[in-house]
Amino acid sequence: MTFATTASTIDYWSMIFVFMLATFIGIGVIRRVSRLLHTPLMSLTNAISAIAVVGAIMVAGGEQYPTYVRVLGAIALFASMTNIISGFLITERMLKMFKTREEAK
Amino acid sequence: MQAYLIEAAYLIGTALFIFSLHWMSDPKTARKSVAAGALGMLLAVLATWFRPEVTRHLWIIIPIVLAIGPGMWLANVPLTAVPQRTAISHAFGGLAAGLVGTAEYFYWFQMEPEMFTSFRTIALILEILLGFLTFTGSLIAAGKLQEIKWIPQRPWVYKGQQAVNGGAFALTLLLGFLLVLWPDRAWSPFVFILLIIMALNFGWMLVMPIGGADMPTVIAILNSYAGLSAVAMGFVLDNKLLITAGALDGSSGLILAIIMCKAMNRSFFNVLFGAFGQVKAQSDAGEKKEYKAETPESAAAILEQANLVVIVPGYGLAVAQAQHKVRELYDALKKRGITVKFAIHPVAGRMPGHMNVLLAEAEIPYTDLVEMEDINPDMSQVDVCLVVGANDVVNPAAEHDKSSPIYGMPIIQAEKAHTIFAIKRSKNPGFAGIDNELYFNDKTWMLFGDAKAVVGELVKSLSSGGGLH
């Protein structure tokens, strides 16, 4: 882990700032998403929220962890990888179906 | 790999996720969304994998390989099952966050108890609470959507439910305080495990009291929770990519939930605190009203004379697998130079945007799918409005009858059309158990039967040159 630094050097406030700003960006961007696409939007955000994969890889593959902790990480990795694969594929599958009148012919 | 390269990859990943969501604003650019999102995810996975401390590669490769099968399977479910798939996917997301949090706790407890700053412990508690709550809650939601027998569709309520929920919440709060104050005592892991058990219980306790009709809102909220659990993981691991991606997901779920609430006239705060309104079945004691039935042949003859036809689809259309027959009807009418539009209510279907996907699958151009707000001002110019498998979303009682359970819900104003045909399976009231005023309107004719069969007959009458008069 990158936690060699002492706890006090980790800047909690900057994390909270990042969270707040990302939420505002999220709200701004999502509000403009076409209502036609709300179902694919949800499967896309499913895949994106599988970003938990980052934590799962660190725990499953990290040198320092004992085996029982590693097993938890491996299950988490399986779960988030399933979401990544199915999330992006099903979004692609659904988006392909949206055609204009010309394309539908 | 150099630390700054990893951070740079995470930064680019964040940007790609934002672009991915941005391109969803229009079906024309949406295909780029998947590419951008997948690329961002690939960068995130590779950068993490290249971290110097990540050395046990087999432990990474095996779960990834195992995930391919279930991933492919979940990507290829029928589109009517997409709501269940989405719920299962939220469950997996919540489980992953909960397990990583659990792993971190026990590792730190054993090896690095100095990691337990108050901030990090609070974030860790939020991560496992949100993660495990999303896990069981989403499984119950998936079960309700799949209509599994032993999960009741109706709201599951009992006496003193509020008190039990309140007590459980207070207990969880207390356990949380204990852990923040003493995260590293010999008995602390016991408190941690109790918290996990409480979170698992909260999930089903929150979703069981909610009826099947409210599931679109529930899915959107669980979507938000899954994102927020990733944010909490980001706080725990000091990782800004997790925070941004989780926040994007969290705000997406929030906005979809608000849209669903508005479309059903529910207060968002009611939903947030699990106090979902229940639609009570009303037995209308008033005079027995009569339906006017019509045959598909005569209905086809009237459709032929129309200039503008609006079809209002509901989930009943998908249940009857009538999408493709509806597409044939659309083609038959178009061939005669008749303008055909589909009026889509936000809660038509079983999750946000579900009906659009079901109609797009039948190759109906999305340019003819019109939102409720956009079609209502034009409804009085519509010659024929054909209601297929929709019920409450066209019930005029929502606009004027204060005693109606759906009063205040925005509707598609089908009653303004010159003629209305409603396809209905039987003479029983709809899902919410309320009579639909529209069906007794002077301008309304009922076409009784299975949606697929009735639309099929309409198509047949039209293509056989039908005009009987």
DSSP B94-137: HHHHHHHHHHHHHHHHHH-GGG--HHHHHHHHHHHHHHHHHHHH
Question: Is B216 near chain A, with CB under 8 Å?
Answer: no
Residue after which a domain boundary falls, among B272, B288, B320 = B272
Question: Is B247 near chain A, with CB under 8 Å?
Answer: yes
Signed CA dihedral, B343, B346, B348, B354: sign only: positive
Residue A2 pLDDT class (50, 70, 90 cuts): very low
Token reading at B16: 């790609």
Domain holding A28, by residue range, is 7-104
Token reading at B69: 């099968």
Q: For residues B94 and B370, what is the distance between their CA atoms, to the nearest angstrom? A: 35
pLDDT (0 to 100) of residue B289:
64
Within-domain flag for B286: no
Residue B26 CA, chain-centre distance (Å), reads 20
Query: DSSP state, A33?
Result: S
* 3-class SS shares of chain A: helix, strand, coil, % to 5: 80, 0, 20
| Cβ contacts of A16 within 8 Å, gap of 6 or more | none
Q: For residues B209 and B142, what is the distance between their CA atoms, to the nearest angstrom? A: 14
Cβ contact A52–B353 (<8 Å) = no
Tens digits of per-residue pLDDT, A52-101? 999 999 999 988 889 999 999 999 999 999 999 999 999 999 999 988 87
Q: Is B174 exposed, middle or buried (CB count within 10 Å of its CB: 0-12, 13-18, 19+)?
A: exposed
In this structure, the answer to whether residues B52 and B140 fall within a common structural domain is no
Q: For residues A44 and A31, what is the distance between their CA atoms, to the nearest angstrom? A: 15
Within-domain flag for A22: yes
Contact B68, A77 (CB under 8 A): no
Contact A73, A59 (CB under 8 A): yes
In this structure, the answer to whether residues B31 and B157 fall within a common structural domain is no
In this structure, the answer to whether residues B356 and B436 fall within a common structural domain is yes
Within-domain flag for B468: no
Which residues are B444's β-sheet partners? B420
In this structure, the answer to whether residues B430 and B316 fall within a common structural domain is yes
Give the chain B residue whose CA is nearest to the CA of A50: B93
Within-domain flag for B427: yes
Q: Which of B76, B60, B110 is nearest to A92 (CA)?
A: B76
A 25-54 → B contacts, CB under 8 A: 25-27, 29-54
In this structure, the answer to whether residues B230 and B369 fall within a common structural domain is no
In this structure, the answer to whether residues B116 and B241 fall within a common structural domain is yes
Within-domain flag for B289: no
Picking from A48, A59, A65 by the largest number of B CB atoms within 10 A of its own CB, the best residue to mutate is A48
Contact B369, B359 (CB under 8 A): yes
How long is chain A?
105
User: Residues of chain A with pLDDT > 70: what percent?
Assistant: 89
A98 vs B contacts (CB less than 8 Å): 27, 30, 356, 360, 366
Question: Is B50 near chain A, with CB under 8 Å?
Answer: no
Which residues are B313's β-sheet partners? B388
In this structure, the answer to whether residues B84 and B219 fall within a common structural domain is yes
pLDDT (0 to 100) of residue B466:
46
Give the chain A residue whose CA is nearest to the CA of B372: A35
Question: Is A10 near chain B, with CB under 8 Å?
Answer: yes
Question: Is A9 near chain B, with CB under 8 Å?
Answer: no
Q: Which of B388, B320, B314 is nearest to B344 (CA)?
A: B314
In this structure, the answer to whether residues B215 and B344 fall within a common structural domain is no
Minimum distance, in Å, between the CA of residue B359 and any CA atom of chain A: 9
Long-range contacts of B403-406 (CB under 8 A, 24+ apart): B404/B282, B404/B434, B405/B279, B405/B280, B405/B282, B405/B432, B405/B434, B406/B265, B406/B279, B406/B432, B406/B434
Within-domain flag for A1: no
Q: Which residue has the tokens 């178009």?
A: B334
Query: DSSP state, B351?
Result: S
Report the catalytic residues of B: 392
Domain holding B55, by residue range, is 1-76
Within-domain flag for A2: no
Within-domain flag for B243: yes
Residue after which a domain boundary falls, among B55, B76, B97 = B76
Q: Is A2 exposed, middle or buried (CB count within 10 Å of its CB: 0-12, 13-18, 19+)?
A: middle
In this structure, the answer to whether residues B441 and B371 fall within a common structural domain is yes
Residue ranges in chain B modelled with pLDDT below 50: 275-287, 431, 466-469
- If one counts the domains in chain B, the total is 3
ipTM of the complex: 0.91
Contact A33, B24 (CB under 8 A): yes
B335 vs A contacts (CB less than 8 Å): none
Q: The sheet that has B444-448: what strands, in order across it?
A: B369-371, B339-344, B308-313, B384-388, B419-424, B444-448
Contact A94, A40 (CB under 8 A): yes
Cβ contact A52–B93 (<8 Å) = yes
Within-domain flag for A97: yes
- If one counts the domains in chain A, the total is 1
B226 vs A contacts (CB less than 8 Å): 46, 49
Query: DSSP state, A5?
Result: S
Query: DSSP state, B51?
Result: S
Question: Is A2 near chain B, with CB under 8 Å?
Answer: yes
> Residue B67 is inside which H or E element, if any?
helix B58-75
CATH number for the domain spanning B336: value is 3.40.50.1220
Q: Which of B228, B24, B36, B258 is nearest to B134 (CA)?
A: B228
In this structure, the answer to whether residues B342 and B441 fall within a common structural domain is yes
Q: Which of B282, B86, B124 is nearest to A94 (CA)?
A: B86
Within-domain flag for A52: yes
In this structure, the answer to whether residues B254 and B152 fall within a common structural domain is yes
In this structure, the answer to whether residues B167 and B314 fall within a common structural domain is no
Within-domain flag for A18: yes
